[in-house]
Amino acid sequence: MEHRRDIEGLRALAVIAVIAYHAGVPLTGGGFVGVDVFLVISGFLITSLLLTEWDGSGRISLTRFYARRARRLLPISAAVLAATGLASVIWLEPTRLDELGVDILAASGFAVNLVLAGRGTDYLAAELAPSAIQHYWSLAVEEQFYVLWPALILIALRLGRRTAVGAVVALTAASALASALLTGPHPTWSYFGLHTRAWELGLGALLAVALTATRRAPENLRAGLGWIGLVAIGIAIATFDRVEHFPGTWAALPVIGAALVLISGDDNPRGVARLLRLSPLQWAGSRSYSLYLWHWPALVIGAAAIGREPGPLATVALVATSIALAEIGFRLIENPIRRSPRLARRSGLSLTVGAGLLAVGAVVGLAVSNVDTTTRTGVIAAAPEPAPALPEVTEPEAEPPEGEPATVFSSANDEPTASVEATATTTTSTTSSTTVPPPTPADAIALDAIADALGARVVPDNLRPSLLEANRDTSPLYGTGCHQYLEERAAQGCVFGDPDGDITVAIWGDSHAAQWFSAIDLIAEQRGWRLVSITQGGCPVIDVLTWNRSGDAVFDHCAPWRDNVLDRFAEEEVDVVLLGQHYGLLDADSRGAVSASVWAEQLPALLDRVRETMTPIVLIDSPDPPEDVPTCLSEHPEEIEVCEPGAPGNTETAVAATIREITAERGVGTIDPRPWLCVENRCPVVVGDILVYRDSHHLSDTFVRWFTPVLDRAIGPYIDSLR
């Protein structure tokens, strides 16, 4: 097939759009559509090559096909993986290396898109900093397509040209339908999956099949279509900003636009080729693959190296670095191997070299996963004393005087624990005949272990979970499908605790509600509650439209999800619901934290709606550290106090006060964990040998499990009394 300079120029526009999007250039919020343009081009070129070979020889050599792909794609890909692994060990935070190693290993096997989809992440960058090779997902999609497509085309061609065309049309239509129907309900799998991206490659393939027919079209018509296509791509780049809606039907604009540009042709004097043949675009297009692979690691690792989000000048410098690396890789690796006469003559050798390059990626991934650059302090910490629990008694022995502390018993040895205080107005009876007041923020008890932890200065070597494992120390709810992402419908079958319990308790909210699941599940099991838990990352319980900073995305899926959850709770006959959310969620209009005034407006309506069928208890938000705690501790292993959350900010204070006021007026139970977790606005991040926070704003599951008796004391007697 002849070299088409219009395709080279279109590649250049696509990669420039992607780089500009990742660099935060204004008016490129839809620059991610450059990937869709790449997929159309790939489908067109690969199918054109296969058809040319079939028409010339009546056969297709799969061995030669895969040998060409190996020479074209694997050398620079393996080089970037190796360089990224090395640079990450030097500059990236130690807490990110294990996950990156897994990603590199998956990328070397063309499966990183599946890993990212399974992790429930996407370009919205859920809780953690993005992987330095997250952009390899699109390469994985292409490689998966290349594995299947030639064999399918060969089989179809052997059955006849019409059969081949019919097969391409059917597969493309099926994938397009899947993209339209599945992107909403299953956004992460749709974004990263071959099944919803194959139609973009398939449209390019159809264009290759119909190439002769399109060339017969009038020159002026083809020229006009090409310019329309280019404008369509430009509109998508400038106006699209909803990654969570892709691919779906939105992808049709840039995909069809790319197809129209290809129809225009390279030999049309009035077509877009006049623009696409410009020397700068030809230069960038020829290096587009290297540019795509290098730019994202440069931006991600560069930000880690300078210790902050890069400003405009730093971003320009990092992009320039990626351009220089792309030029070096193009000249020394990509071109020499792709055009090697020896490799071109020997397909077996090309495949052997390719297998070796895949092995290099796998070895790099395993090595990075096993690197531990955290500092050993030589300190072994004792486990904290068991958190105090409420004893099971049928009635209080005596009421203490008004305002005096009551003596309660520890679950460990049933000895009196004088340091644990409760207000005298809180009854300790758990019998169904006693009415227990709802919990209030004033019911918090002092914890010796928290106070003692304020004297700790170093990270113990026996920390649980370790700094490298902290991001995986999540609630078991995350592995059940009952903690959702970007879903409009509530998950089903999310029943825990005692399935035969005579009272049904629910957990509802975002990840800050989900973080309490382990404790509440254990309490429910022990007290005989049936537990229903449905939560979703980034979705508030109140009716407010939120915006995600990392993905620049508005979460409009939360409103139908909220309604669906309440319907599900009605079906499950929920008696008590625990409501919780992160106060750091951002309002879609103001792009700031959801304000106290919004809570004051929306919370009463929510409580009134919930109280029609359920008894609500509101979980006030846990403290937010200033940065990712495991990362901070890895950088300050002998001064851990710098990683502590400080005094709550103005918005957090105002929201908490508003919630207390509204719930008090309505007699609704409220749990405020801050008095348990902090002493005089100091909130330790390590308690004994336990890491309190797994990231920048979630409690670790290990800590929540230790904390279970305290939460049981707060909610157990009250919920039992509702029987």
Cβ atoms of residues 701 and 477 within 8 Å: no
Q: Is 234 exposed, middle or buried (0-12, 13-18, 19+ CB in 10 A)?
A: middle
Token reading at 538: 């980034």
Q: Does 100 or 156 have the greater pLDDT score?
A: 100
Report, in angstroms and rounded to the nearest whole number, the Rg of the chain calculated over CA atoms: 29
Q: Does 102 or 387 have the greater pLDDT score?
A: 102
Residue 85 banded pLDDT, cuts 50, 70, 90: very high
CB atoms within 10 A of CB 210: 13
Rounded-to-integer distance, Cα 249 and Cα 181, Å: 9
- pLDDT average, residue stretch 576-591: 91
pLDDT at 392 over 70: no
pLDDT at 408 over 50: no
Rounded-to-integer distance, Cα 210 and Cα 206, Å: 6
Rounded-to-integer distance, Cα 509 and Cα 625, Å: 20
pLDDT at 257: 97
- What proportion of the chain, given as a percentage, has pLDDT over 90? 71
What are the pLDDT digits (tens) for 238-292? 999 777 778 999 999 999 999 999 999 998 889 999 999 999 999 999 999 999 9
pLDDT at 426 over 60: no
Q: Which residues of 91-119 are buried (b: 16+ CB within 10 A; e: fewer)?
A: bbbbbbbbbbbbbbbbbbebbbbbbbbeb
Residue ranges in 477-619 assigned as alpha helix (H): 511-514, 517-527, 558-571, 596-610
Which residues in 383-487 belong to E strands, given as ranges?
408-409, 416-417, 483-484
Residue 146 banded pLDDT, cuts 50, 70, 90: very high
pLDDT at 10 over 60: yes
Query: Which residues lie below 8 Å from residue 456, measured CB to CB, with a gap of 6+?
Result: 381, 640, 684, 686
pLDDT at 417: 32
Cβ atoms of residues 220 and 270 within 8 Å: yes
Token reading at 158: 């052997």
Cβ atoms of residues 390 and 712 within 8 Å: yes
pLDDT at 82 over 90: yes
Secondary structure element (H or E) that encloses residue 28, with its range: none
What are the pLDDT digits (tens) for 500-510? 999 999 999 99
Secondary structure element (H or E) that encloses residue 531, with its range: strand 529-536
Token reading at 114: 């599946």
Question: Would strands 615-619 and 576-580 be described as parallel, antiparallel, or unpaired?
Answer: parallel
What is the DSSP secondary-structure string of 67-94? HHHHHHHHHHHHHHHHHHHHHHHHHS-G
What are the pLDDT digits (tens) for 659-673? 999 999 999 999 999
What are the pLDDT digits (tens) for 427-454? 333 333 456 888 887 766 678 899 999 9
Token reading at 376: 């050993």
Query: Which residues lie below 8 Å from residue 597, measured CB to CB, with a gap of 6+?
Result: none
pLDDT at 647: 86
What is the DSSP secondary-structure string of 546-583? EEETTTTEEETTHHHHHHHHHHHHHHTT-SEEEEE--T
- pLDDT average, residue stretch 404-416: 31
Residue 723 banded pLDDT, cuts 50, 70, 90: confident
Rounded-to-integer distance, Cα 625 and Cα 240, Å: 34
Rounded-to-integer distance, Cα 355 and Cα 358, Å: 5
pLDDT at 393: 37
> Among 717, 83, 59, 16, which residue's Cα sits nearest to residue 433?
717
Is the whole-model pTM more than 0.75?
yes
What are the pLDDT digits (tens) for 206-251? 999 888 788 889 999 999 999 999 999 999 999 997 777 789 999 9
CB atoms within 10 A of CB 400: 13
> Among 175, 135, 136, which residue's Cα sits nearest to residue 152?
175
What are the pLDDT digits (tens) for 469-489? 998 899 999 889 899 888 889
**N residues, the chain:** 723
What are the pLDDT digits (tens) for 339-381? 999 999 999 999 999 999 999 999 999 999 998 888 889 999 9
Delimit the domains of the chain by residue range.
5-369, 475-673+694-704
CATH topology of domain 475-673+694-704: Rossmann fold (3.40.50)
